[in-house]
Structure 1
Amino acid sequence: MRRHTEHHRSDRIGWLRAAVLGANDGIVSTASLVLGVAAAGAEPRLILLTSVSGLIAGAMSMAAGEFVSVHSQQDTEHADLARERAELKLDPVGEQRELAGIYVGRGLEPALADQVAAKLMAHDALAAHARDELGLSDTTAARPVQAALASAASFAVGAVLPIAVVATASPAYLMLWVSVSSLLFLAGLGALSAKAGGAPIVSGSWRVAFWGAAAMAVTAGAGVMFGAVAGA
């Protein structure tokens, strides 16, 4: 008998989104901060101090923002489930008809849809309605703490990369090294996230690197402008 070897990646959606977002922000925001300050004419020690401060502030901001955002999603999910639980107690027959109607809309014959709805309602009515009416499941459920920790940790990891370049690169070529290395880091991040999610690697790598380059270019340009104004 042939074993079922099909692998799906939908269970990675929550943590993968938070991790990629955090690492991408860590690289882009820190590298952009370094380029902006360097373009304004700051000395290497100040650049390093600024980038480390950006790492700490960014990681805390990512954790807080992700927790609040995902917790709001979780609150909405819990409210929908509570409302559905109440409706099941008040009108179980009507809720079964509603579930059967969903299956008819998906292509089942009415008689078969009624049978399926009855069986699922008998097994776990709330789970059936959560999945098929509300679109909620364990794999897509909001997990605020997990998302916050993943975002903060991945931001810190991403931010450390350009900071390491700042700490080791020659001041004369600091902007060049930070720009090139950060683009390579972003391309690698895009490739890893695409591979983990089962998406095309080349397009994922190019997309992350392109938008990162755009953000760094804008910030460096702003640094040049402010540096020129301050020096006037």
Structure 2
Amino acid sequence: MYRAHKEHHKSQKVGWLRAAVMGANDGVVSTAALILGVAASGSSETAILLAGSSGLVAGAMSMAAGEYVSVSSQADTQKADVEQERTALKENPEEEIEELAEIYKKRGLDDQLAREVAQQLMDKDALRAHMRDEIGITEVSGASPLAAAGSSALAFVVGAGLPLLSVWLSPAEYTQSAVAVFSVVFLMILGGLAAYTGGANVVKGTVRVTFWGAVAMAVTTGIGTLF
């Protein structure tokens, strides 16, 4: 008996995974770097916590606003393309069939088959066929500004909360060491989870996220030490 084979591709997760990873990574790196910079300048624990908390709130709002504006712009562009295509289908349906057939010819179909496929797809749902094959807009790639903004802000808060937690739990004299060590560990876990979820190389993903996060923290610590 034939059993349908269904593959589980990772690309469907790219949208929310990108926003979540970027938010969490920025949360850990920016907050840890801020805490390390302030601590290196000789500030009190109260000042360090205040700076870190302020960085958490400001960063989360910035991530949400930036992601919302960015994805909204993408959505607006997609909507404009769809409206343009809808108008073209009404005014020049025959030319749109030829246009779709040409796409299938370039993919390897012969002239007759390409024309038949284009005609049948347009008979069923002309706009969807052109959205998918001409413009490249699908349900998977469709932009969702609120979802992207929310996931980025939430991920940032989670990421930023980890270095702050390190400050709370560690003695004052070990604040810098605790934040640095735990932040590196958090970045390693984040990089590994992101790579695993996206189906990428776990070692490469872990090293990439950890290395650049550590560089950012080292630079900020050096600047704080100067003051």
- Tell me the TM-score normalised to structure 2 length: 0.97
1:41 Cα offset (Å): 1.1
Query: For residue 134 of structure 1, what is the amino acid of its counterpart?
Result: I
User: Residue 133 of structure 1: SS of its match in structure 2?
Assistant: helix
Q: Is 1:77 aligned with 2:78?
A: yes
1:4 Cα offset (Å): 1.3
Q: Which residue is equivalent to 2:88?
A: 87
Correspondences of 1:64-143 after superposition (within 5 Å): 64-143=65-144
Structure-1 separation of matches of 2:137 and 2:11: 13
Q: List gaps (5 residues or longer) in structure 1.
A: 228-232
Q: For this pair of structures, how many residues does the alignment match?
A: 226
Query: For residue 106 of structure 1, what is the amino acid of its counterpart?
Result: R
Query: For residue 195 of structure 2, what is the amino acid of its counterpart?
Result: A
Q: Is 1:175 aligned with 2:176?
A: yes
Structure-2 separation of matches of 1:219 and 1:116: 59
Structure-2 separation of matches of 1:5 and 1:87: 36
User: Residue 190 of structure 2: SS of its match in structure 1?
Assistant: helix
Q: Which residue is equivalent to 1:145?
A: 146
User: Residue 100 of structure 1: SS of its match in structure 2?
Assistant: helix
Structure-1 separation of matches of 2:73 and 2:167: 38
User: Residue 139 of structure 1: SS of its match in structure 2?
Assistant: coil
1:32 Cα offset (Å): 0.4
1:53 Cα offset (Å): 1.0
Greater than 6 Å deviation, 4+ residue runs: none
Q: Which residue is equivalent to 1:210?
A: 211
Q: Is 1:62 aligned with 2:63?
A: yes
Cα deviation per residue 1:156-205 (whole Å; 9 max; x = unaligned)? 00000000001111222211111111011011001111111111111111
Structure-2 separation of matches of 1:45 and 1:134: 54
Q: Which residue is equivalent to 2:53?
A: 52
Q: Is 1:223 aligned with 2:227?
A: no
Structure-1 separation of matches of 2:219 and 2:132: 44
1:3 Cα offset (Å): 3.4
1:2 Cα offset (Å): 2.7
Structure-2 separation of matches of 1:83 and 1:218: 49
The answer on whether the counterparts of 1:13 and 1:140 sit within 8 Å (CA) in structure 2 is no
1:128 Cα offset (Å): 0.7
Structure-2 separation of matches of 1:211 and 1:52: 23
The answer on whether the counterparts of 1:87 and 1:95 sit within 8 Å (CA) in structure 2 is yes
Query: For residue 186 of structure 1, what is the amino acid of its counterpart?
Result: L
Identity percentage of aligned residues: 55
1:22 Cα offset (Å): 0.4
Cα deviation per residue 1:21-43 (whole Å; 9 max; x = unaligned)? 00000000000000111111111
Structure-2 separation of matches of 1:95 and 1:159: 51
Q: Which residue is equivalent to 2:42?
A: 41
Structure-2 separation of matches of 1:117 and 1:209: 48
Structure-2 separation of matches of 1:5 and 1:132: 22
- Tell me the TM-score normalised to structure 1 length: 0.95
RMSD of aligned residue pairs (Cα, Å): 0.9
